């Protein structure tokens, strides 16, 4: 599993490392550019998310049709061009266009779908945890290195590094990433967006994903500006003292949360705990007058974010049928990135017309409503998977049995296997085999 997951996780991590290297300092950098305003700064911070929102669905659907690898290449090339434009921007509008281009390379859902293609669902949670841990490590490195490198060499240098990371990711794509098996779907020739949005489980996960990402951008707009403001008077080079411990604690919390959510089938409990920590973090950051307590709020924020991250993606791939994975992840991430853009833009707007106390309380109230909504979430049904040689299965019998006990089944045409996802406890493995055998 690790050999299949690591190259894809590395590609996504390199992309995130480039994006998040600038997050600790980009709001301060953007404020100093020609034509900048607090609102435009917020758009720049979350600008990549707007184009992510627009292109997640097309990229996910395109990967289902033409293949994952070609789609990943297109996305990485667009990301490379955007990074170079950001590096050489001299005004707020050029920087904004570059950030839009960075986001247009919307490959996150494609990578997650490709991992689900390569890894059996029983161990997919572990695969998602590996991917999430690698992203969290990128966050930690970015939070530690971004402020230091930005202060010493300039934010332009960080964007150059991002372009280099894009090139490295392309090399990894064609040297280390395996080709996923060819899957034949046995039903639904096309995926309808309405089918995904009408599924209550998928809809709940889409909302959770959107709220998590929206709060992330709000935090990254506010944290550096507040810490370097007259309230606390930190230097840019000191910001790592807030971000690095926050990411280390967040990384430490990710593993236990993923194990509890996946192994014990309790993702709802993890989501509710994370939302409670989000509420506490924004109230602390909005109301405290102590920089030490403010950093505690930052730590709580990143613990909450990292506890959610691997479970969100894993739950979406569990609830979606095999032919829906790319589209479901695309829709979910599209809405989440749109929320990311709204979060950054709203934070920039509020900075210009309000104080941080009001912002902290307002975000806390929204998070309380989110908590109440999430109370209605149901933990997923437990399923088992059966892998049988294609020649041993009577597909007509399997089709007739599907509605009663089988969530879905599909053919791995590369390995000549039929994979059956059936409700654990509803039917015994031996009974199932006897009912569908030729």
**Residue 408 pairs with which residues in a beta bridge?**
421
Residue 35, pLDDT > 80, answer: yes
pLDDT of 210 reads: 94
Residue 427, pLDDT > 90, answer: no
pLDDT of 124 reads: 65
Residue 251, pLDDT > 90, answer: no
pLDDT in tens, 200-222: 888 888 999 999 999 999 998 99
Burial zone of 65 (CB within 10 Å; 0-12 exposed, 13-18 middle, 19+ buried): exposed
Q: Comparing C-alpha atoms, which of 313, 151, 165 is closest to residue 234? A: 151
> Mean pLDDT across the chain, nearest whole number?
85
Domains of the chain: 2-374 (1.20.1250.20), 383-436 (no CATH)
Helix (H) or strand (E) holding 410: strand 406-412
Least confident residue range of 7-21, 135-149, 363-377: 135-149
Report the alpha-carbon distance of residue 379 to residue 267 in Å, rounded: 6
pTM given for the model? 0.77
Of residues 137 and 74, more confidently modeled: 74
* Interacting residues of 420 by C-beta distance below 8 A, sequence separation 6+: 385, 386, 387, 388, 398, 406, 409, 432, 436
**% residues pLDDT > 90 (the chain):** 36
What does the DSSP assignment read for 224-260?
A: HHHHTSTTT---GGGTHHHHHHHHHHHHHHHHHHHHH
pLDDT in tens, 306-354: 898 878 877 887 777 766 766 777 788 778 888 989 999 999 999 889 9
Least confident residue range of 258-267, 282-291, 404-413: 404-413
The vertex-290 CA angle with 286 and 294, nearest 5°, equals 50
Residue in the block written with tokens 């992309």: 15
**Residue 386 pairs with which residues in a beta bridge?**
420
Of 34-43, 192-201, 234-243, 381-390, highest mean pLDDT: 34-43
pLDDT in tens, 44-99: 998 888 898 888 778 878 887 888 899 999 999 999 999 999 999 989 999 999 99
pLDDT in tens, 345-396: 999 999 889 999 999 999 999 999 999 999 988 887 777 778 888 888 887 7
Extract the tokens encoding 236: 């840019």
Biggest CA–CA distance in the chain, Å, is 76
Residue in the block written with tokens 């990128």: 138
CA 418 → CA 154, 374, 385, 387, 403, distances in Å? Answer: 55, 36, 10, 6, 17
Structure confidence at residue 186 as a pLDDT band (50, 70, 90): very low
């Amino acid at each position: 599993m690790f050999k299949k997951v690591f190259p894809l996780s590395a590609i996504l991590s390199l992309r995130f490392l480039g994006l998040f290297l600038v997050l600790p300092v980009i709001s301060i950098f953007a404020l100093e550019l020609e034509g900048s305003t607090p609102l435009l700064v917020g758009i720049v911070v979350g600008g990549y998310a707007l184009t992510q929102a627009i292109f997640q669905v097309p990229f996910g659907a395109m990967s289902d049709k033409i293949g994952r690898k070609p789609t990943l290449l297109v996305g990485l090339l667009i990301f490379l061009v955007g990074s170079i434009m950001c590096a050489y921007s001299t005004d707020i509008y050029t920087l904004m266009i570059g950030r839009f281009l960075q986001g247009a390379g919307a490959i996150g859902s494609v990578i997650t779908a490709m991992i689900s293609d390569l890894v059996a669902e029983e161990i997919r949670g572990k695969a998602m945890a590996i991917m999430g841990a690698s992203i969290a490590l990128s966050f930690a490195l970015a939070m530690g290195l971004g402020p230091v490198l930005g202060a010493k060499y300039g934010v332009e240098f960080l964007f150059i590094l991002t372009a280099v990371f894009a090139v490295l990711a392309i090399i990894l794509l064609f040297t280390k990433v395996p080709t996923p098996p060819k899957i034949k779907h046995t039903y639904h020739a096309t995926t309808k967006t309405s089918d995904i949005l009408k599924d209550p489980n998928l809809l709940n996960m889409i909302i959770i994903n959107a709220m998590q990402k929206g709060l992330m951008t709000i935090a990254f707009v506010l944290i550096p500006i507040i810490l370097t403001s007259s309230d606390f008077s930190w230097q840019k080079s000191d910001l790592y003292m807030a971000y690095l411990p926050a990411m280390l604690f967040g990384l430490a919390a990710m593993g236990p949360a993923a194990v509890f959510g996946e192994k014990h089938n309790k993702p709802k409990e993890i989501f509710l705990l994370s939302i409670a920590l989000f509420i506490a973090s924004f109230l602390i950051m909005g109301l405290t007058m102590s920089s030490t307590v403010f950093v505690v709020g930052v730590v709580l924020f990143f613990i909450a974010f990292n506890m959610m991250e691997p479970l969100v993606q894993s739950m979406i791939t569990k609830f979606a049928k095999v032919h829906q994975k790319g589209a479901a992840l695309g829709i979910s991430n599209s809405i989440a990135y749109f929320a990311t853009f709204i979060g950054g833009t709203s934070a920039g707007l509020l900075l210009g017309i309000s104080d941080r106390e009001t912002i902290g309380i307002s975000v806390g109230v929204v998070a309380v409503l989110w908590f109440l909504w999430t109370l209605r979430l149901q933990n997923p049904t437990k399923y088992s998977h059966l892998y049988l040689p294609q020649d041993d299965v009577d597909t007509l019998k399997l089709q007739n049995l599907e509605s009663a006990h089988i969530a879905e089944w599909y053919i791995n045409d590369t390995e000549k296997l039929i994979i059956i996802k059936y409700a654990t406890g509803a039917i015994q493995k031996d009974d199932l085999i006897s009912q569908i055998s030729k």
